[in-house]
Homo-oligomer: A and B are copies of this chain.
Amino acid sequence: MLDAARRLKYRHNLQARQLRTGRSEVVGILAWGLSGGVNLARYQAVERAIRAGGYRALMGHAAGDEELRLQLAKEFASSAVEGVIVLNTGGAHDAAVQVLVERGVPIVSMEPLEGLSADVVTVDRRAGAHLVTKHLLELGHRRIAFLCGKLTVPANAERFQGYREALGEHGCSPDEALLVRIARSDTWGHYGQGYEAGQRLLAVRPLPTAVFCNNDEVAIGAMRSLGEAGIRIPEDVAMAGFDDAEAAAYAPVPLTTLAQPVQEQAARAVSLLFERIAKPDEERQPHAIRLTPRLVVRASCGAAAGRKRICEH
């Protein structure tokens, strides 16, 4: 019987099964973008966790396109997926996520969400930014610039908050001139944005003695601007990034940064989602898990133990 089936090269049809059962065994991943090493790492970790749970992963990659993202969310909601992991956000007012919430699709977000009630498993950017700013302050820096991304993105706003708080605790008044906004650009990636922001930073007088960057790629881009101006790192200016992308250890000067617990974040987000999928009706308070990033000290702030070793393990 089974044998006959095989001989007739029978293949089961996923959509028919899905139509009949109403279950797709698919989890959607809603991504705003994958540029920057950490986003890719997060995506891969999430995908793996989804597969490990016996589900299939369906990538919804908006690539920075708001309209497309909304479209993808609607497709997800059209019974195509049983739940969604929100990997990334492009801003606080996230219409796509709202659609999912409204239609009762179970979701877990890996970014802070504003004004929406949903499970959230985030990396505490505020704590991370605080950690690294404090590190710089303790090394004696007082004029610490921040190359920051759009503050309407919750993750960026959090970083700014941590930066400002740490400064405040050390009695530093925030200097608006030291806040350099990263220009949004469709033609460059993060490196190019960092390079451009770094050039604007060079116009600030007096020059800051340290620069904290929104992420590692931005930091590496900015390193080049400073390098071209003859500024040495870390002797003249200390630099720090965020994410601990693989590139950070291979930057022109190995970059002090904040490692994100990507694996743990993905595992917890996905298992939380599976819980929600299993008990969709249960009206419980949304979970809000915050994971703390870890400071990784390398040579770029002049505080590295040994300059030669690049990887700590």
Contacts and interface: CB of A to CB of B under 8 A. Distances in A.
A221 interface: yes
B191 A249 contact: yes
Copies of this chain, whole number:
2
A59 interface: yes
Nearest to A307: B228
Contacts of A279: none
A231 interface: no
Contact of A14 (B78, B190, B252): B78
Contact of A51 (B68, B78, B228): B68
A191 B246 contact: yes
A40 interface: yes
A75 B35 CA distance: 28
Contacts of A40: 34-35, 40
Given A44-B63, A51-B68, A221-B250, A14 B80 contact: yes
A310 interface: yes
A95 interface: no
Given A12-B78, A191-B249, A61 B59 contact: yes
A189 B14 contact: no
A54 to B, nearest CB: 12
Contacts of A221: 250
A57 B60 CA distance: 9
Given A19-B19, A224-B250, 20 more contacts: A11-B78, A13-B79, A14-B75, A14-B80, A16-B19, A34-B34, A34-B40, A37-B189, A44-B63, A48-B63, A188-B246, A189-B246, A191-B247, A191-B250, A192-B311, A195-B250, A220-B250, A224-B310, A251-B252, A252-B252
Sorted nearest first, the 7 A-B pairs with minimum C-beta distance are: A59-B59, A15-B15, A252-B252, A189-B246, A191-B250, A15-B18, A15-B19
Interface of A: 11-16, 18-19, 24, 34-35, 37, 40, 44, 47-48, 51, 56-59, 61, 63, 68, 74-75, 77-80, 188-192, 195, 220-221, 223-224, 228, 246-247, 249-252, 308, 310-311
